[in-house]
Amino acid sequence: MIKTRMHWENMVKAVTLMAMVKFYNMLSYTHFYMVAFNWQNMVTVAYINGDQLADITTLDKASRGAGKSLRFKPTKAQKTYMINECETFTLCKVEELEELTNASKYNKGEIVEKLITELFGQTWEKDNIPFTEDGDLTVNGIAYQIKYEKATFINEKQMARMA
């Protein structure tokens, strides 16, 4: 009985994750991502497309009663997948990211976005442009969303509002 219930809970979780990925992809301005994560104490960035979102995201509890969230919170297996299957580059040492964040009013995700933007020779500016209207960075005519570990793509409350 317990094993069956756990099996069903895992299936419901997988179906919910896939539904959230599909919904996000349906509304997203771009289907190209630069996702950054800690790999061997280096901030590593992987190029991901919308078809790979389900492979690198996790279903998690959203904050402030917003239901479930689709989050970039990669496991070791997901990080290994990105290292082996995606084009990647090293951004900086994790220690450097910590120092930059501590010396700034911005969070780690914003600092990663700033570093990537500047790496591509562009000026970074904090903005709140929705994912439905543009990416965070455009390189060679391709718009990218940029995410760092623990970043949320979308939650159930946002989905209900947008549906």
pLDDT in tens, 3-55: 676 677 788 888 999 999 999 999 999 999 999 999 999 999 999 999 999 99
Residues 35, 88 contacting (CB under 8 angstroms): no
The DSSP-derived string for the chain is -HHHHHHHHHHHHHHHHHHHHHHHHHH-S-SEEEEEEEETTEEEEEEEEGGGHHHH-EEEEPSTT--EEEEE---HHHHHHHHHHS-EEEEEEHHHHHHHHHTSSS-HHHHHHHHHHHHTT---------TTT--SEEETTEEEEEEETTEEEEEHHHHHHH-
Angle at CA of residue 153, ends 25 and 29, nearest 5°: 40
pLDDT in tens, 87-144: 999 999 999 999 999 999 999 999 999 999 999 999 999 988 999 999 999 999 999 9
Unique residue bearing structure tokens 């082996």: 84
Domain residue ranges in the chain: 2-162
Rg (alpha carbons) of the chain, rounded to whole number: 16
| Residue 12 tokens, joined | 């419901």
pLDDT at residue 162, rounded to an integer: 86
| Residue 94 tokens, joined | 């994790």
| Residue 35 tokens, joined | 């996702």
